[in-house]
Amino acid sequence: MYKLVALDMDGTLLNSQKAISPRTKQAIQAARDNGVQVVLASGRPLEGMTKYLDELGMTGENDYVLSYNASLVQRVESKTVIRKQIMTGRDAKNIASLASDFGTFIHAFTPERGLITPENNPYTEHESVINGVPTTVLDFAELADDEEVIKVMMVADPEVLTAAINQLPESLYTQYTVVQSAPFFLELMNPNSNKGTGVAMLAEHLGLDASEVICMGDAGNDHHMIKYAGLGVAMGNATDDIKAIANHVTDTNDNDGVAKVIEEFVLGK
């Protein structure tokens, strides 16, 4: 019944040690051997996903990946972009002004400059390390209004970020897709960019219906794809609001939650 499985990475596919368990790896391979398309859908850039795509053997021209919360949907081998919904330098400067008002740090990803931030901080450093991408310190005022920006993130201690979120103007939610991917990460993207629209586009590209799709995640940036999927799955470690919208709640990322879903709903074990 299910022909496409979309997996969030951090908190879902990866356990607390940022590793894929042997059972999960085996289940994914078995699904792929049965003709099921498995894709990673992450807030990370492709550089931060490559190690895991290699580990899973999902590196061919018929393998796909959703990076930057599906701002980009690409073929893995050639990196050909089949969907792109991004922002501009003007957006980045507007959001940077808000971040300054609310006392949060900020960083962004751009196609030309990579990871940029006006000020070094522990959260941008964390982003840099987990994705293996260098950081460039750059005043966002130097960005051209029409320069391509993939996504912008407000980053701060969780209590500071929560206070900032509570002050965000309502208009921001119509201008952008706004999702919280971690207690210290708030991501802002093109309003047409989210994991749900990305998975829907890929399903259409593959000739599949939503009823044939499983999506699994644990955080706010997984909301759209869990709502879209025929079977939307929340991890046992997911936030309460994600569990509330899911069709099914599986075990945690440290207890092979992904593998258990694939075994039950795809492999029929």
The position carrying tokens 């040690």 is 17
> How buried is 141 (Cβ within 10 angstroms: 0-12 exposed, 13-18 middle, 19+ buried)?
exposed
**pLDDT at residue number 205:** 96
Same domain, 44 and 120: no
For residue 4, the surrounding DSSP H or E stretch is strand 4-7
**pLDDT at residue number 269:** 83
Question: Average per-residue pLDDT in the chain?
Answer: 96
For the CA atoms of 168, 165, 6, 210, the dihedral, rounded to the nearest 10 degrees, stands at: -50
pTM of the entire predicted model? 0.91
Same domain, 118 and 32: no
The answer to whether residues 161 and 104 touch, using CB atoms and an 8 Å cutoff, is yes
Same domain, 126 and 178: yes
The DSSP letter of residue 215 is: E
Same domain, 127 and 259: no
Q: List the end-to-end C-alpha distance of the chain, in Å, as a whole number.
A: 14
Written as one letter, the residue type at 163 is A
Arithmetic mean of pLDDT, 208-237: 97
Domain of 160: which CATH number? 3.30.1240.10
pLDDT tens digit sequence for 85-114: 999 999 999 999 999 999 999 999 999 999
Same domain, 63 and 93: no
Question: What is the residue range of 199's domain?
Answer: 4-84+193-267
Arithmetic mean of pLDDT, 112-124: 96
The residue among 189, 223, 238 that closes a domain is 189
**Active site residue ranges:** 8
The position carrying tokens 């962004």 is 108
The answer to whether residues 59 and 77 touch, using CB atoms and an 8 Å cutoff, is yes
The residue among 189, 221, 256 that closes a domain is 189
The answer to whether residues 225 and 199 touch, using CB atoms and an 8 Å cutoff, is yes
Same domain, 173 and 100: yes
Q: Does pLDDT of 34 surpass 90? A: yes
The residue among 189, 204, 227 that closes a domain is 189
